[in-house]
A = this chain, B = another copy of it.
């Protein structure tokens, strides 16, 4: 788990402690010298680690002391660490899904409107592939990942691209945090896939967006069901 270098290690430990609310926002971190002795390393490594955390937006380094910032002011990247730490968390997962829904719909509409023949062909073939076995979760996940990647590339939107970078692989995570016992409503999925297929054929970007939106709404539903059925979760955040 640890990191490549000493400073990354220190940064990881401190980041974890902060995200686990072991320090209250505004509270002072131990001094660089104390941290150095605690981690049995030198002050330089600690300073490098703190610089990273500062760039992450979870601490503020000032003469007089390092202070912890509220999570709400941090950088997008902390979400990945939060997800790792807190485990399944319905609220956060649903927030992810809402964002991904929007981004995906937006990119898909743009793609359908602007794509060249090859891209359209790829999209059609991917949808066709998914239609062969809409009950297989892993299979569907791969298909959606491919589709989303295609939309992302074709829409050529740097802002969206960077947001997705910040959210990294969490799309896959969010979309698979579902009760494995949950049986998939293949009829509904097939309907959506058929709709998407028609939308691509007619180059109807608006309808494409609607069907993709429907799919994400379905994912949100089953995610919520999974959480309410199995009481398994979850460490509360913030």
| Chain A residues close to B by CB (< 8 Å) | 7, 44, 47-49, 51-52, 54-57, 71-79, 92, 95-96, 98-99, 102-103, 106, 157-163, 165-167, 237-238
Taking the closest CB of chain B, its distance from the CB of A28, in whole angstroms, is 18
Give the residue name and chain of the B residue nearest to A43 (CB). B44
Q: How many copies does the complex hold?
A: 2
Across-interface contacts of A73 in B (CB, < 8 A) = 165
Measured CA separation A47–B161 after assembly (Å):
28
Taking the closest CB of chain B, its distance from the CB of A25, in whole angstroms, is 14
Measured CA separation A48–B7 after assembly (Å):
10
Measured CA separation A51–B45 after assembly (Å):
11
Measured CA separation A113–B165 after assembly (Å):
30
Contact B74 A162 (CB under 8 A): yes
Give the residue name and chain of the B residue nearest to A91 (CB). B158
Across-interface contacts of A79 in B (CB, < 8 A) = 158-159, 162
Measured CA separation A167–B159 after assembly (Å):
9
Across-interface contacts of A48 in B (CB, < 8 A) = 47-48, 51
Ordered by A's residue number, 22 sampled pairs between the chains whose C-beta atoms are within 8 Å are A44-B44, A51-B52, A52-B52, A52-B55, A55-B55, A55-B56, A71-B158, A72-B161, A73-B165, A75-B75, A76-B76, A76-B165, A78-B162, A79-B159, A79-B162, A95-B157, A95-B158, A98-B106, A102-B103, A158-B238, A163-B163, A166-B166
